[in-house]
């Protein structure tokens, strides 16, 4: 699944191999962008990149079952209502997560969703699917799910639909283990953090910054 993602748009020379190489790529990107990076102490290791604009990037062991090995997280606390919950995900990934949820219920003989599952896995069953403008590649391949449909629609119509359509066309592939969420006022992108590349960091950070700016501008 990762083979088609590894090179992104920067060619083989931009792909790192191994945790040490990944941290070097993160450090090089942080320096290029004017950010600061600190290593995370402890046996698990990792790194945190802080920016002058309040958002940060965390790299370390995965916090989600659908991401194996290392995880890359972009996080920004925004001034959006804390009760707004949103999930943007490819239909392929949504199907995989729904299958995992079903399997966990079957194995444990559960009859209801509980809080032991990650938020995004629970939301697939709980929240409303937000309409995505069609016809578009985004509408065919992605799902936007939220408990605040009007809020999510306004965000999408603020110019995000076009930016996401471009991402879906150029690099955000169907099986890519990547999700965008909003929860407790925090915008997060989670994705595979194995073999990090400069192109990956540049491309995803650009989309992340735009998503945050558009979210902050939504009129509640």
pLDDT tens digit string along 175-204? 999 999 999 999 999 999 999 999 999 999
CA atoms within 13 A on the CB side of 89: 27
The tokens for 126 are 């709980």
Q: What is the pLDDT of residue 42?
A: 79
The tokens for 52 are 């002058």
Q: Which of 55-64, 69-78, 105-114, 130-139 is predicted with the least confidence, judged by mean pLDDT?
A: 105-114
Q: Which residue has the higher pLDDT, 91 or 42?
A: 91
DSSP string, 133-144: -SSSHHHHHEEE
The Cα diameter of the chain in Å comes to: 51
pTM of the shown model: 0.87
User: Per-residue pLDDT tens for 38-90?
Assistant: 999 877 789 999 999 999 999 999 999 999 999 999 999 998 999 999 999 99
The residue extents of the domains of the chain are 12-216
The tokens for 42 are 């402890």
Q: What is the pLDDT of residue 112?
A: 52
Nearest to 192 by CA among 88, 63, 101, 92: 63
If you count them, how many residues does the chain have?
220
Nearest to 72 by CA among 165, 163, 207, 205: 205
């Amino acid at each position: 699944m990762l083979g088609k993602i590894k090179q992104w748009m920067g060619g083989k020379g931009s792909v790192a191999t191994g945790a040490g190489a990944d941290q070097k790529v993160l450090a090089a990107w942080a320096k290029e962008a004017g950010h600061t990076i600190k290593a995370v102490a402890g046996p698990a290791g990792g790194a945190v990149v802080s920016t002058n604009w309040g958002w940060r990037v965390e790299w370390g062991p995965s916090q989600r079952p659908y991401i194996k090995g290392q995880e890359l997280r972009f996080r920004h606390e925004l001034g959006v209502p804390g009760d707004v919950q949103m999930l943007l995900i490819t239909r392929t990934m949504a199907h995989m997560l729904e299958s995992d949820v079903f399997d966990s219920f079957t194995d444990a003989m559960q009859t209801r969703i509980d809080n032991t599952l990650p938020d995004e896995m629970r939301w697939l069953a709980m929240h409303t699917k937000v309409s995505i403008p069609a016809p578009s590649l985004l509408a065919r391949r992605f799902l936007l799910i939220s408990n605040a449909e009007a809020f999510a629609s306004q965000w999408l119509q603020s110019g995000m639909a076009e930016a996401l359509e471009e991402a879906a066309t150029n690099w955000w592939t169907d099986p890519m283990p990547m999700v965008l969420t909003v929860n407790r006022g925090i915008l997060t992108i989670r994705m595979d953090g194995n073999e990090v590349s400069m192109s990956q960091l540049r491309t995803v950070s650009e989309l992340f910054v735009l998503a945050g700016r558009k979210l902050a501008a939504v009129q509640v």
